[in-house]
Amino acid sequence: MTLIYLASPYTHADAATRSMRFHAARNYAHYCMQKGETIISPIAYGHQFATNYGARIDWKFWWALSERLILSSTELRILTLDGWQRSFGIAQERKLAENHGIPVTFAEPMR
């Protein structure tokens, strides 16, 4: 089975930026699902817990889950939203994938 892990920037001081990043990740994941791809977006998943239940939004809190998901994936796809190249989380996710021979690809956000 193919499983795509969708990496995208999220953490930001501005709640509106976090919300925009969530919507972009969710929309892209939905698009992929409509094409028949199996994809997981920790941002689409975690944002709900952060905004509705006050869960922490920092990378360190979510890393244990992300690490397991990446290691179970057959591809890590980076959604190239503004800020992706400066994202500490994406750098760590990419490093883990590359160290385990998991292909890393890039995708443009939906317009």
pLDDT digits (tens, 9 = 90+) for 27-65: 999 999 999 999 999 888 765 656 655 555 666 777 888
User: What pTM did the predictor assign?
Assistant: 0.89
Q: What CATH number does residue 29 fall under?
A: 3.40.50.10400
What are the Cα distances from residue 36, in Å, to 2, 30, 31, 51?
A: 11, 10, 9, 29
**Domain contains 62:** no
Full domain range(s) for residue 21: 4-55+69-107
Report the run of H or E that residue 45 belongs to, with start and end: helix 42-53
**Domain contains 77:** yes
Among 13, 4, 26, residue whose Cα is nearest residue 93: 4
pLDDT digits (tens, 9 = 90+) for 6-17: 999 988 889 899
